[in-house]
Amino acid sequence: MGREPSIGGSRSYRDEAVVLRTAKLGEADRIITLLTRHGGRVRAVAKGVRRTSSRFGARLEPFSSVDVQLHRGRTLDIVTQVEVLEPYGQVIAADYALYTAGHALLETAERFTEVEGEAATQQYLLLVGALRTLTRREHESTMVLDAFLLRSLAVAGYAASFVDCARCGAPGPHRAFAVAVGGAVCPSCRPPGCAAPDPRTLQMLAALLSGDWDVAEQADPRCRREGSGLVAAYLQWHLERGIRSLRHVERV
Ligand SMILES: [Zn+2]
């Protein structure tokens, strides 16, 4: 290491990342999908990772927060060094509710970073924050997921409105909620047949979006369920195929 002059410089780089997904490649290698702090979503080859003697082995499992060094390849980059910052996967894999919520976090993060190599630092920070909150069991896993989904949508430019009218801006709170319009709607903007959720549900969702956990956690289970349904519908509207793993998340 270090003697070859072509290594280092622009062909080698280092970043923090979360492992989103891994897939087998040939006999012993894996393709690792990473969400990096500075370089967006990156797919890289980890050579020999499936051999028991591998230096990387368990370090490159889904959910892991890592410090990774990569070498730019012609098609895919190559992982040359990995250090685990937080082994979130160990905690998450041991608890079904954490696992299903965690899996939905990873799938959503990947869907919101469709273009490989395009910086997505805010999305990265949201994901790391959600994984940390989830594994510390600071809040109920479904609420951590819903907060993450709402904030990811906001980062992507689809912030829902839970108070003022999403169409004309008339000050709320309003009773009606229209996914296609962007959230709460006033009586004059309200399209026919739109949902009229419990006002406390909208209050809870507003609190989840802004990170006001004290208010959000006052919501009863019925409001939490209704809120999760609205978040899922809103997400579905903005992402073409929806998020498959949301179906497996156990709701309270
Ligand atoms: Zn309006």
**DSSP output for 147-162:** HHHHHHHHHTT-PPBS
**Mean pLDDT estimate for the chain:** 91
pLDDT of residue 1: 38
Q: Residue 242: pLDDT band by 50, 70, 90 thresholds? A: low
Percent of the chain past pLDDT 70, that is, above it, reads 94
- Per-residue H/E/C for 35-103: EECCCEEEEEEECCCCCCCCCCHHHHCCCCEEEEEEECCCCCEEEEEEEEEECHHHHHHCCHHHHHHHH
Are the C-beta atoms of residues 163 and 210 closer than 8 Å to each other?
no
> Between 191 and 54, whose confidence is greater?
191
Q: What spacing in Å lies between the alpha carbon of 181 and ligand 1's midpoint? A: 10
Q: Could you tell me the distance, in angstroms and rounded to a whole number, from the CA of residue 237 to the centre of ligand 1?
A: 20
How far, in Å, is the centroid of ligand 1 from the Cα of 164?
Answer: 8
Given this model, what pLDDT does residue 90 score? 92
Q: What angle do CA 31, 108, 30 make, to 5 degrees?
A: 10
For the stretch 198-229, pLDDT in tens is 999 999 999 999 999 999 999 999 999 999 99
Where does the pLDDT of residue 30 fall: very low under 50, low under 70, confident under 90, or very high at 90 and above? Answer: very high
Q: Which residues surround ligand 1, an ion (CB under 5 A)?
A: 165, 167-168, 170, 186, 189
What's the confidence (pLDDT) of residue 4?
41
Exposed/middle/buried for residue 75 (C-beta within 10 Å: 0-12, 13-18, 19+): exposed
Place of tokens 């907060």: 147
State in Å: Cα 170 to ligand 1 middle: 5
- What pLDDT shows up at residue 37? 98
Quote the ligand 1 centre to 189 CA distance (angstroms).
4
Give burial (CB, 10 Å; 0-12/13-18/19+) of 191: exposed
**What pLDDT, in 10s, does the model give residues 113-170?**
989 999 999 999 999 999 999 999 999 999 999 999 999 999 999 999 999 999 999 9
CB 34 within 8 A of CB 17: yes
